[in-house]
Every structure is written in C-alpha cells, then in structure tokens.
Amino acid sequence: MKRIIIFGTAHLDSTPGKCSPDGAFREAVYSREIIADLKAIMEKTYGYTCFVDYDSMQPLPAWTEARKRKGYSAEQSAELVYRTQQVNKICQKYGVENCLYVSIHVNGAGDDGKWHGAGGWCCYTSRGKTKADLLAECFYDAAITNLRSYVNIIDEGKRHGDYTEKQVPFRMDKTDGDRDMEADLYVLRHSACPAVLTENLFQDNRRDVAFLLSDEGRQAITRLHVEALLSYCQKY
C-alpha cells in the first residue's frame, strides 16, 4: 500500500512569540496554509492518503484548563501529547511501517519581539540512528534543489547586515554521518513512525519573512516538501 502521510501543524494562534516582530507573519497560520496545499497535492495529484495531527489554531478546552491551573507549559505539554496520540492512532490503524510524520515549522532566533540576523533551513530528527534519518536526507536533497534563490538572498543579505556572517542557507550537523539536526523534540521522540520536523527559515529575520510571504517562496517551500515525500516513498 502507499505510505500514509501525517502532517504536523505548528503551535496554536495563541502560542506566545510565534510571529514576526511586525505581526505580518504568523507561524500557526503559515504552517496550516502550507499543509493545506501539500495535502491537496499529495492526495489529488499523487493519490496518497494524508492526515493532519491538529488542524485548528485554537486550544482544546482541556489544554486551556491546564494552562489556567499550571501555566503555559502545561498547555503546551497537553498539546504535544495529543498530537503524538493522533499520530500513533493512525500508525496503529494503518501499520507503523506504512506511515510517516512531517511537522512543518518556521524557526525563530529570539522571543524579544525584535528582528534578528539568523537564517537558514533545516530538518530535525530525534537523537540516534533511526529510519527518520533517511526521510531527513530526502528533505535536505529537496531543499537544496528548491531553495537555490534563497542562497542568493542570504549572500546579499550578509552584505547588507541582515544576516550575521556565520549564517548558512542549510543548517546541518554532519557529526554522525548525515545532515539532519537532532533534538529531543517530543513529537519526534514519541511518534511510532519515522518523524521529522522542518524549520523553514526564520520568522524574525526580515529577508526570510519577505521570501516566505512571496509567491516564489511559498511555492519553493511547498515544492521541496512534495519532492522530499515522493523521493522517500519511492526509495523506501
């Protein structure tokens, strides 16, 4: 059977700090818009069955109650547990070996409401050698192919002081022999199937935001996800 693709949305509209300093870009909105495009393409054009872990931008009542009682961290924990439960229910129904999970985010350098000089695209997996490493490699290949114009944006931005000198278009950690970034992110550690999280540039960098909001940028981000998914499904 064809792989079952589960998309993970980024945060909630009420999650603090998940927007550009001028408010023009909101991560929760952007993630869901990209996923809506991806879901339509993968289902209608390529015949895959797709799910979304949490489509709404508003918290469930239980999450709100947790926040009232114990603070924002409790709401966030409840949200992450719920997302992972949804993923694993789908895995249980269709088989872990037939499913994969892609959570789509946009990075941020700070939570101070200011513009920053960080930039770049990357893909996270959980720590250690897992099947998700293969999925991440497909994403890096697709990102390098589809974000060629973004490489020029970083180069020009450095000359104008919009990026710090150490910034690179594609953030990687090659210490373990592959390119993915590794972290103890809850949804990656606790999802039964191969799971990755893409960080699609920075929401607090002026040039990154301008690119993400442009037609060219949106098409590039969408296309790289489509190509990565197709590549993984065809190879593995």
Query: pLDDT by residue (tens digit) across 85-116?
Result: 999 999 999 999 999 999 999 999 998 999 99
pTM equals 0.98
How is the chain split into domains, by residue range?
A: 4-235
Contact present, 173 and 182 (Cβ < 8 Å): yes
**CATH number for domain 4-235, candidates 1.25.60.10, 3.30.43.10, 3.40.630.40, 3.30.420.40:** 3.40.630.40
Tokens, residue 183: 């972290």
**End-to-end Cα spacing for the chain:** 12
List, for residues 52-90, the tens digit of each pLDDT value.
Answer: 999 999 999 999 999 999 998 999 999 999 999 999 999
Contact present, 139 and 123 (Cβ < 8 Å): yes
Q: Name residues whose C-beta falls within 8 Å of residue 159's C-beta, 6 or more positions apart in sequence.
A: none
Q: Helices in 96-173 by DSSP H: which ranges?
A: 132-146, 148-159
User: Collapsing DSSP states into helix, strand and coil, what is residue 3?
Assistant: coil
Q: What angle do CA 109, 110, 116 make, to 5 degrees?
A: 60
